[in-house]
Amino acid sequence: MTITHDSSTRAFELIAPEIRADLIAAVRENWPDLSDGLGERGVHQMVVFLATSAGTDAPMTPSLRVDLFWHAFVLHTKPYADFCTALGGFIHHVPDRASRNPAEARAAVIRTRSAISAAGYRADPEFWPGREHRRLFGGLLAVPRRVLRQPREHVASQPCEPGERRQPSGPAPGGRRADRRRTYMNDARVAAWDTYAQGRAQRRTTNARGESTWFNWTQYPDHGPGAEQLSLLPGGRVLDLGCGSGGNLAHLTTLGMRAVGVDVSPAQLGKARARWPGVGGMELHQGDALDFLVPAEPFDAIYSVFGAAYFTDPVLMLPAVHAVLRPGGVFAMSQQPAVEGCYGCQASYIPRGPDEDPAVVRRWDYPTAAWPGLLRGFGFVNCTATVLPAPARGRRKIGTLLIRAVREG
């Protein structure tokens, strides 16, 4: 059977209910808040993308959200092959590394959305953000792929943006910020970081040099580089993603910066306000870092020290940061170096006491050498990743991974 352009429902029904349920479950591993209803819509949008691509010679590019479902379907090799046969030919996933330009990617997915509409299908805006959603979605619109029409066979390419990870259900087409907050924030994650805050002491009143404020990138006191990594001038506007109790922010204000911090934990922000009550020029916000970034006013530098950038999928975080960083601005983050062989989404456990299971939060680890390419894939330049050795004193040997990049001016 060949699927025609007025039969997306019929095409959808070619995928058995149990396979659709498996696809939704697979996508939910990277998109925890995905509901069954939204998952069914995602499967349907994958279907209309594949059906449209089968009927055109024009290049086709899925959105990241649609791509999650496509990846899951490809792994079900026989049902996927049978579905492609019904479309008239197999649709391959073939790597295409020719272009990594985010602007080209966004334009390609908008063209695909138009092609879907022209073919008589409905492009669901939850899965196909259009031109008007560029800032709303932090630039994260497309994983460039080309679907090339060949006799009885179709070829689709792999992403030019690295990885395919959890996608948010996102805001309604009108783009209210509160809608995204309901997507990203949940009580368990807030409670986990509140627990972490309760187990951490306040920053010392002075460091080894007798200073009352200082900037620290590492997990060790009086160690490593300082705020010079951010290349800020006095008066610059700087954002701390996962600011915790605000020690680094407080130091930046003493350098003449307009320092803004966001943290998901009310307990952490309570500690910040208690520790730095008289600091002017410091602005604190409670909420999810991605919610705060979309939309946000431009920043001269954005950083995260063992903070939200460590605990958010970089495929979501990096384009959102890039979208609000001024040209020439620095993005820098620090975290633990990855354990060899343990890459991608990993679990971190926060103790809650001897009689309770620990709280679980997710972090993202990649080999040090992979970070520059990951950053370049989202439009950054001058990308570096370096492991700062642990202090020579003491028995601890794990260093600190410091990642730094610049938005091209």
Question: In this predicted structure, which of 147-156, 250-259, 369-378 has the lowest mean pLDDT?
Answer: 147-156
Average pLDDT of span 33-59: 86
Average pLDDT of span 366-388: 91
Model confidence over 319-368: pLDDT tens digits?
A: 889 999 999 999 999 999 999 888 888 899 999 989 999 999 999 998 99
Q: Which residue is it, tokens 């580089």?
A: 225
Contact 90, 42 (CB under 8 A): no
The β-bridge partners of 282 are 259
C-alpha count within 13 angstroms, C-beta hemisphere, residue 26: 20
Please give the pLDDT value at position 9.
65
Average pLDDT of span 147-159: 34
Average pLDDT of span 220-227: 96
Pair of tokens at residue 336:
């633990």
Average pLDDT of span 269-297: 91
The β-bridge partners of 331 are 302, 405
Please give the pLDDT value at position 409.
77
Contact 189, 180 (CB under 8 A): no
- The amino acid at residue 384 is T
Q: Say what percent of the chain tops pLDDT 70.
A: 80
The bridge status of strand 344-350 relative to strand 325-335 is unpaired
pLDDT tier, 151 (very low <50, low <70, confident <90, very high otherwise): very low
Please give the pLDDT value at position 137.
32
What is the architecture, at CATH level 2, of domain 185-407?
Answer: 3-Layer(aba) Sandwich (3.40)
Please give the residue that has the higher pLDDT: either 189 or 325. 325
**Average pLDDT over the chain, rounded to whole?**
81
Q: Say what percent of the chain tops pLDDT 90.
A: 49
Domain residue extents for the chain: 8-177, 185-407
The pairs formed by 171-177 with CB atoms below 8 angstroms and a separation of 24 or more are 171/136, 173/125, 173/126, 173/133, 175/133, 175/136, 177/291, 177/294, 177/295
Please list, in sequence order, all residues whose beta carbon lies within 8 angstroms of the beta carbon of residue 123, skipping any fewer than 6 positions away.
45, 48, 113, 116, 117
Neighbouring C-beta atoms of residue 355, cutoff 10 Å: 5
Cβ-based burial of 322 (10 A; exposed 0-12, middle 13-18, buried ≥19)? buried
